[in-house]
Chain A
Amino acid sequence: MTPTAAAFRDRSARAVQDPALREAIRRVTGHLGGRRAQVTAELPHFDTLRERAKHIKQHTLAHLDRYLEQLEHQVRARGGHVHWARDAEEAAACVVRICQQGQAKRVAKSKSMVTEEVELNRALEEAGMEVVETDLGEFVVQISGDRPSHLIAPIIHKRREEVAELFSRHLGTPPDAPVPVLTAAARAHLRQTFLRADVGITGANFLVAETGTVVLVENEGNARMVTSLPRIYVAVAGIEKVIPRLSDLAVFLPLLVRSATGQRLSAYVSLLSGPRGPAEQDGPDGFHLVLVDNGRTGVLADPQLREALECVRCSACLNVCPVYERAGGHAYGSVYSGPIGAVVTPALTGGGGLLDLPFASTLCGACREVCPLRIDIPRMLVALRMRAQQAPQARWERGVAGLAAWVLCHPTAYRWASLVARGLQPVVRFLPIRPLRAWARGRELPRLSRRPFHRTVAR
């Protein structure tokens, strides 16, 4: 992950100039958000599921060592292998090693955020492997050299015409092909990928400690393909994905799917435990689970940010966020975009170079309201802002804040400051004060009242 979110303002400013992007995002988020509202209202116990899920996550995170050990034990008991990776490099190197040991050449991947986070594709390609993304959206991202801009709708920013043009170059479809034709072409092309691949790689939506099960939620069937056909299967997952019991899926699956796509259940949910049995005709011979830390234990140790590890990546917060809607996912400069991305990215990376990302929110609270885990994203953004303000670059802002606090704590000073401000009022628009200029670009500057209320009262 190479976050460059210090440029959020530049990128979001460009996105605002792109009405087609805005329209595309609004269509998707409006659609997903609308369906989410409908199917969550359908369950009278939806809020109870939210509370239970919260408890289960809090409990699991508090005993994460125990559950990871149980998970490892269970995966091994079913004939699988478990690998541990401290950081992105270790994770990528680990997967490369598994592929090399299996003498693999061709890798088929299904959509996974954590493999984006550790930049797995680059590592595999550098090791001479052919890597194909098989999720339709991720396939488009890959062949266009782009980046995903939404957690579950990676090409939310692309219009149909762009995809048609891309496919006509890569797959030979007519340049004005409609969506069903494009889909059929991708199906035919990627079917060969599935049949020829040596290794299938996925992320994980959940890891069940009790049974050593990797749980995958998807709609296209590509995750089923890459976990059924290639001879080696590798699941790459963050350590926070573990849940204690198989029965907990009855809580988490409805929460995740209903919040994400507004479906009652996604087209496919795979529960994968170990390699194929001795008499089975398909399924992988090698079953590998790579557990990735990459900053997560640091977040776990951070009482202000630990809650971020409860996220199930449903993207409901993106779909209601007014800032995401205008700025688009690329503005966040990281694989994790939207409100939760503005928390997770600086949290996982320790915040370096991410000074403006936590500020990219009006703190309107819409994200917290729809989050199935009720994660208090605004609270964490404020906590991250505090850290950003400790940086050397924020010296000026610290000075202003200190002065402001002193004035606000001393009513006499406050009254004097009111007078001074009124004295400056006639010339304020000409002063080189950056925030005022930023405001006045497209908005009238508000005028101070002739006399503040405290003087009226005093009289």
Chain B
Amino acid sequence: MLEDELLKWKLRRGSPEALAKVYEKYIDAMLTLAVGLLSNRAAAEDVVQDVFLSFARSARNLRSQGSLRSYLATGVLNRVRDRHRQLHRQAVNLESVDEPVCRSAGPDQTAILVEQIARLDQAVAKLPQEQREVVLLRLKMDLKFRDIARLQQTSVNTVLGRYRYGLDRLRSLLNGEVDR
């Protein structure tokens, strides 16, 4: 948080180093969120590109008092929603769900993990959009439920319900496929 404060302060003064630091710090997290929300790697890359270019243009006038992570995640979320509106909420094609990347597994575990992660990714893609947003914003972006509620323009209780139903549905879909 302190680092973000310093970065915001530098960004308002036009520091390219600060922009590069923000980019390196958050680009993968935002791409992960976009992929999770869209289930389409190419579309997700377009979204994060839009988000960071817009951020670069407006960084000098940045007035957010929250975390940069939350600020950028909001940008991703809004663009994903725009895209959904444009596409009239096309049905998820599980065949098109990109294979996720696992960066922490050893060579002998990779094959198993990739399969498990693919199932996890597909299961997340099957969640209703509101539940998917809550689950990903909470677990991947570390946003607080009240912040998610503000983004979804609903009550905290509704968000908590969506989170609970989302996880229950994931449990049902995975049915034992997620193992450590």
A interacts with B: no
